[in-house]
Amino acid sequence: MINVTKTYLPSLADYQSYLEKIWADGQITNRGNLVKELEQELKKYLGVSELLFVTNGMLALQLAIKALDLKGEIITTPFSYVATTTAILWEHCEPVFVDINTQNFCIDANKIEEKITSKTSAILATHVYGYPCEVEKIQAIADKYHLKVIYDAAHCFGVQYKGQSLLNYGDMAILSFHATKLFHTIEGGAVVCKDKALIKKVQLLHQFGHIGDEHYIVGTNAKASEIQAAMGLCVLPKISEIIQRRKEIYFQYKELLKPLSLQYPKTEEDFKYNYAYFPVVFDKEETMLKVKETLALHQINARRYFYPSLNTLNYLPTSYACPVSEDISRRVLCLPFYDSLQIDEVEKIAELVKSQ
What's the pLDDT at 356?
82
Is 196 a domain residue? Answer: yes
Report CA torsion sign: 275, 103, 285, 324: positive
Residue 75's beta-bridge partner residues?
96, 123
Domain that holds residue 122: 12-98+105-237
Q: Which ranges constitute the DSSP H helices of the chain?
A: 12-25, 33-46, 57-67, 82-90, 135-145, 196-205, 226-235, 239-256, 285-297, 323-331, 343-354
Is 249 a domain residue? Answer: yes
- Residues whose CB falls within 8 Å of the CB of residue 16, separated by 6 or more in sequence, listed in order: none
CATH code for the domain of 110:
3.40.640.10
Contact 175, 146 (CB under 8 A): no
CA distance 199 to 299: 45
Do 223 and 278 lie in one domain? The reply is no
Rg (Cα) of the chain, in Å, rounded? Answer: 20
Contact 280, 295 (CB under 8 A): no
What's the pLDDT at 235?
98
What number of CA atoms fall less than 13 Å from residue 273's CA on the CB side?
20
Is 50 a domain residue? Answer: yes
What's the pLDDT at 267?
82
Q: How many domains does the chain have?
A: 2
CATH code for the domain of 343:
3.90.1150.10
What's the pLDDT at 344?
98
Q: Pick from 237, 270, 287: which residue ends a domain?
A: 237
Do 223 and 249 lie in one domain? The reply is no
Q: Tell me the per-residue pLDDT of 139-177, one tens digit each, with 9 for 90 and over.
A: 999 999 999 999 999 999 999 999 999 999 999 999 999
Q: Pick from 185, 214, 237: which residue ends a domain?
A: 237
Q: In what order do the strands lie in the sheet with 148-152?
A: 50-54, 189-193, 172-176, 148-152, 120-126, 73-76, 94-97
CA distance 332 to 320: 21
What's the pLDDT at 106?
98
CA distance 205 to 217: 7
Q: Pick from 200, 222, 237: which residue ends a domain?
A: 237
**Which of the residues in the chain have pLDDT under 70?**
none
What's the pLDDT at 107?
98
Do 36 and 178 lie in one domain? The reply is yes
Is 2 a domain residue? Answer: no
Do 63 and 137 lie in one domain? The reply is yes
Do 269 and 122 lie in one domain? The reply is no
Is 282 a domain residue? Answer: yes
Q: Tell me the per-residue pLDDT of 39-82, one tens digit each, with 9 for 90 and over.
A: 999 999 999 999 999 999 999 999 999 999 999 999 999 999 99
Amino acid at 44: K
Is 71 a domain residue? Answer: yes
CA distance 63 to 201: 9
Do 169 and 287 lie in one domain? The reply is no
CA distance 77 to 348: 34
Do 69 and 142 lie in one domain? The reply is yes
Do 282 and 295 lie in one domain? The reply is yes
Q: Is the peptide bond prior to 259 cis by the omega test (within 30 degrees of 0)?
A: no
Do 56 and 22 lie in one domain? The reply is yes
Do 269 and 227 lie in one domain? The reply is no
Is 6 a domain residue? Answer: no
Residue 300's beta-bridge partner residues?
2
What's the pLDDT at 3?
98
Do 205 and 194 lie in one domain? The reply is yes
Contact 15, 230 (CB under 8 A): yes
What's the pLDDT at 315?
96
Is 5 a domain residue? Answer: no
Do 46 and 154 lie in one domain? The reply is yes
